[in-house]
Chains A and B, each alone.
Chain A
């Protein structure tokens, strides 16, 4: 009798885990942005960890505990790295979520304007504006920090490589163009 109860619970739990993985895969396929896909991947990873833990508990496999640690670290590193490099040009899949995200208006948002210093430098050197910079960086002006407090604390989450890289690229190409134009 007890064995029957345990078997029923295990089978039901396995079915629930499989269903949750399938539903999360639906969100990964359908998700309008890469962040939704990342959350779906986290749920898949959590389901895998729960299933692995259940397998360890019920089949005497305590040697799989380091695998659980590695999976936990993998989820953390994946989430942080993906969300760190999500850019402003991350376009959502149009129509994937009907009526949900269409009522945005730009006036609701406080997005930074284009970097004036870089624009004047480009205008002075005569080079065309770099449109691909907007796809890489999420904030054009490196001094702008929308998450800063009033006390002047800057980015609290480490270096922001996007604007620096973009600026380096821009200055490098303009310098090369100046050298070629010189002689």
Chain B
């Protein structure tokens, strides 16, 4: 019975994290901030619920499957979040006034300078198209 209560508390905490992510999704004003909010139930909420399931069914088959699920989430969620953030940076869906530091801008500057040098080396003028 104590284990049932612990399991119910864990499920309740997972639901609370999910609600926190949804509230952050509405309250935050930026794509990157919303990404920051939305990653919580995907990892920690699912871990809490998986621990609740493992408490209820402490068999090897269940626990190993839950470990597979959690490790899969831990691997794939950063990748998906990185892809979303990269697309958001490319399509300007972020507020630059909310950034303390933009480390990617330096890389973009370097790439642009390299592209300019490459064009100059290739001998194609840019005036007739840019003007």
Contacts and interface: CB of A to CB of B under 8 A. Distances in A.
A35 B84 contact: yes
A146 interface: yes
Interface in A88-127: 88, 90, 92, 97, 100-101, 103-104, 108-110, 112-114, 116-117, 119-120
Given A141-B115, A147-B107, A5 B8 contact: yes
A58 B15 contact: no
A11 to B, nearest CB: 10
A20 B69 contact: no
The B interface is mostly helix, strand or loop, or mixed, namely: helix
Contacts of A39: 25, 31, 34-35, 38, 84
A6 B57 contact: no
A68 B72 CA distance: 11
Interface stretch (A71-79, A164-172, A173-181): A71-79
Given A46-B21, A100-B29, A112-B115, A35 B76 contact: no
B95 A100 contact: yes
A36 B91 contact: no
B14 A13 contact: yes
Contact of B15 (A6, A16, A22, A87): A16
Given A46-B21, A113-B126, A65 B69 contact: yes
A147 B87 CA distance: 11
B18 A79 contact: no
Contact of A20 (B18, B93, B112): B18
Interface centre among A65, A92, A117 (most CB of B within 10 A): A65
Contacts of B25: 23-24, 27, 39-40, 43
Nearest to B110: A150
6 contacts: A9-B11, A10-B11, A36-B93, A65-B65, A83-B83, A100-B95
Interface of B: 1, 4-5, 7-9, 11-12, 14-19, 21-23, 25-26, 29-31, 34-35, 38, 41-42, 45-46, 49-50, 52-53, 55-57, 61-62, 65-66, 68-69, 72-73, 76-77, 79-81, 83-84, 86-88, 90-93, 95-97, 104-105, 107-112, 114-115, 118-119, 124, 126, 129-130
Given A80-B79, A101-B95, A104-B92, 11 more contacts: A6-B4, A6-B8, A9-B8, A46-B45, A47-B22, A69-B65, A86-B87, A103-B95, A138-B91, A141-B115, A148-B107
